[in-house]
Amino acid sequence: MAAPTVSKDLDGWFASNDKRIHDELFEFLRIPSVSASSAHDKDTLAAAAWLHQKLAAIGFTVETCPTAGHPVVVAEWRKAPAGAPTVLVYGHYDVQPPEPLDLWTTPAFEPTIRDGKLFARGSVDDKGQLWVHVKALEAHLAVRGTLPCNIIVVAEGEEEIGSEHLAQFIAQHAARLACDAVVISDSSMFAPGIPSILSSLRGLAYFEINVQGPSGDLHSGMYGGAVVNPAMALAHILSTFHDKKGRIAIKGFYDKVLPFPRAVLAGMKKLPHNDTRFKREVGVKALGGEEGKTTLEKLWTRPTLEVNGMLSGYTGEGAKTVLPAKSMAKVSCRLVPDQDPKVIEKLLKAHVKKVTPAGVTVTVEALHGGHPWRADLAGKIFDAATVALHAAFGKKPVIQGEGGSIPVVVDFQKILKVPVLLVGFGLPGENAHAPDEWISVDNFRRGLRAIATLWDEYTK
């Protein structure tokens, strides 16, 4: 069979509208919709309003639905021929905080293209990828005056802070959101030129650990040696989380971990991963983690416990002799099927209680969580995506796992009872959540064509 191609009418429309598509994306990226920061609440609302207006302008019926947090933008187009399927497209218009600002080559909210990379906070995660979907829909409507399937776009503003209100929103609006498949572009390809379809995501359980010692900071000479130091107590607690083989030493932590299907593991071995390149990409000389596992196994199929940040005592210039009164760490566990964030919370709390030294009080607070997910990968939407990616990238997609989390994926699958297709256009090294986040302009352009082709293939 000849290799599939992108249909000429859509490809031509993308080519002649390329500048406008980019200009509009720049507008979207200039809105600092940082969901974690209440100082940016106005901007987060502005991003929702901007998106609302753009979706309305291409012919969708749009509603911005308030939640207890940031609103959900729901846009519907339901004029497909009778019997046509309905697809729900999900994305998020919120972004991660841009800090540390001084490490950006150009400012986070002033999009700039250098060497084929579009730099800006949200360029890849997820405004750029959401924009791929909006413009692919516009292409169909502009060129053909119609879409081959009904489409519901759901864009939320709380993904980067745990999608706290979205599961409830989906459950409350389940009838309206009823569909045949969910499609999400909020992930990355395996490598440049190698498109991929995701077969799994890890879940998440995120905690804050606070250690309280003396009632105030103390002179480290007058009191040090006799009073338990909260910074050292925290270091001790953290040091008990792993054993010498890199496994997590919390009792019961692995009890619910299921083996990965053999076909998935076999497929993983065939992917062109290279540890030397991987080390170079992240800038380290050696890798860590569980003994006896390959890097891809560690990233996609195994749970973790990581320290995300720590705070204690004097961290200013020069030396100050002080025994700090308290210390704090942000700790998160990535989870794999069938681990449950609530159970992990209980196990972690019991462990911390057991290893806390006398002389300090420790509290563990669960901040947010999400369940791990595994795809079925059977059905028309996956076949259609395979052809569409092949057409746009000139190469069949690989099936890959993913170490990150999109908690709402499980909610969609459970509540709407439909398959979820995850097909993303980011790349390794794209700096998501970090300074100098970027999306490849070439991937963005191919992504537009892939998604536009997806709707044709899905309804063939």
Q: Which residues are catalytic?
A: 94, 159
Closer to Zn ion by Cβ: residue 324 or 407: 407
Reference 355, options 253, 250, 254; nearest CA is: 250
Closer to ligand BES by Cβ: residue 173 or 368: 368
What is the smallest separation between the CB atom of 125 and ligand BES, expressed in angstroms? 5
Reference 136, options 391, 447, 392; nearest CA is: 447
**Are the C-beta atoms of residues 212 and 413 closer than 8 Å to each other?**
no
Closer to ligand BES by Cβ: residue 33 or 188: 188
Closer to ligand BES by Cβ: residue 128 or 324: 128
Paired tokens of 341: 């964030």
**Partner whose footprint covers residue 405, from ligand BES, Zn ion, none (CB < 5 to 8 Å by kind):** ligand BES
What is the smallest separation between the CB atom of 128 and ligand BES, expressed in angstroms? 11
Site residues (vs ligand BES, CB under 6 A) = 125-126, 159-160, 162, 186-188, 204, 368, 370, 402, 404-407, 432
Paired tokens of 62: 């749009």
Of 103-162, which residues contact Zn ion (CB under 5 A)?
125
Three-state DSSP state, 366: strand
Reference 364, options 354, 375, 377; nearest CA is: 354
Number of residues that bind Zn ion (CB under 5 A): 1
Closer to ligand BES by Cβ: residue 160 or 456: 160
**Partner whose footprint covers residue 180, from Zn ion, ligand BES, none (CB < 5 to 8 Å by kind):** none
Q: Where are the beta strands (DSSP E) in 148-217?
A: 150-156, 181-184, 196-198, 200-201, 203-212
**Partner whose footprint covers residue 230, from Zn ion, ligand BES, none (CB < 5 to 8 Å by kind):** none
**Partner whose footprint covers residue 327, from ligand BES, Zn ion, none (CB < 5 to 8 Å by kind):** none
Distance CA 207, CA 346 (A): 11
What is the smallest separation between the CB atom of 305 and Zn ion, expressed in angstroms? 20
**Partner whose footprint covers residue 188, from Zn ion, ligand BES, none (CB < 5 to 8 Å by kind):** ligand BES
Q: Is 281 exposed, middle or buried (0-12, 13-18, 19+ CB in 10 A)?
A: exposed
Rounded to 5 degrees, φ, ψ at 391 are -65, -45
Distance CA 375, CA 420 (A): 7
Task: Please name the residues in contact with 322: beta carbons below 8 A apart, sequence gap of 6 or more.
Answer: 217, 218, 219, 220, 313, 314
Closer to ligand BES by Cβ: residue 89 or 233: 89
Distance CA 99, CA 434 (A): 8
Residue ranges binding Zn ion (CB under 5 A):
125
